[in-house]
Structure 1
Amino acid sequence: MSSPTEQRQDGFATDPVVAIMLSRPTRETAVSSRELPERALDEAIRRCETLQPAIHPMEAVLRKSIVLMAILAIAVPLPSTAQERFTPPNGGLGGQQFISRCPSGALLTGIVALTGAYINNIAPVCDGRALRGAGGRGERRSVDCPAGSVIQSVWFISLRSDNHLLKNLNVHCVARGTRIGTADIQLTTPGRFSGKLELYPHGNMDCGAQNITGLQGRAGDAVDALGLICG
């Protein structure tokens, strides 16, 4: 004996009672419906109102995939190439850590320093605006890239003494948004080096494909170490 309810290819149940309501309205079905008991007719109407077409298995999988991707897009942020990072500070281990970031969207266009025999205080210049420095006191010196340019790299040289205090800087400027060089500017301090420069700790710092968005390092009465903020 077959089940009183069977499944049609279009996904609708073919209960004998429901079939009357789903069939094309003809004179015969109209007469048949009047002959149904009142309870059966009410049940047929209720089923017709709540019955939904069956979903193909592949469509169900697709819907679940779309929902899952939407959840992941909200819960898991996409990697950003502009994520902030610090370059390793170059110099000694004295002083306290300092972090001086440019305002959002601004880039490093210059450096202000207070100097004696070496660099005592240092501050970034972001889009022409100098921020608060870190370190001690001294004579003011500064380097600024030409208009429309930003600092792409910073060359440094430190003392040979155990504290490796920061001695001199040289900044390389490029046109904003390019790698086209526009200037190389030195920030020097009084006093001569004893011996060849290559014997002093030195090196070049840059942010690779990122921009320089601030300075960080260590400072006390002088600048002990210097690194870049990249973003």
Structure 2
Amino acid sequence: MLVHCTAACSQPSDEATPAPVESANAPAADAALNADTKLVMAFGDSLYAGYGVKQDESFPAQLEKALSDKGLKVSVHNAGVSGDTTAAGLQRLAFALDGLPRKPDLVILGLGGNDMLRGINPDQTLSNMEAMLKELQKRDIDVVMTGMIAAPNLGRDYASRFNPIFTQLAEKYDAELYPFFLDGVITDPKLMLPDGVHPNPQGIAKTVSGISSLVADELKG
């Protein structure tokens, strides 16, 4: 499935959007955190942070509810920052991990979309993503990755270098992979915000319905 380029594809990134507090849902979640509660850190860009939606409609918040509905006691920590590239994510990963109340049981890693929108060299994206996976591996933290697909206007050469990054790294670092975060969402205007780049609450719910079983299985395993 390919990303359908809208007028918003021409914007370099969503960096102009003020970044949310990194742990926007953390106070309530951390207060309820105990030994039998699984701790998940959702580490990504605006798709995780909740751009254009209420915090209780964001990806981490909706995922936490979906996992709870599956019978899991879990706290999903929102560590999404709008505008983040993989380079920016790499710079703050250790800080974000060290700021948690304890080592997370799982990190959901979703970066690369802003690299793609900016046309950043895929070799840099690969290098930054690999460095983050090495850091998580060093800390013995399990990972679920959510992938991204290059917009058609970037051309076949760029796509041929960018698109395989996530599968290659998931295989190399034994991480679970949800291949495309916006699968079944970006092609449906009813599930997208007017900018054509970010999902609305219904779009986020569709993504959560696709990824929640994968995350649940990883936490149970």
The two structures have a TM-score, normalised by structure 1, of 0.23
Structure number with higher relative contact order (C-alpha < 8 Å, ≥ 6 residues apart): 2
Structure with the larger strand share: 1
The two structures have a TM-score, normalised by structure 2, of 0.24
Structure with the larger helix share: 2
Larger radius of gyration: 1
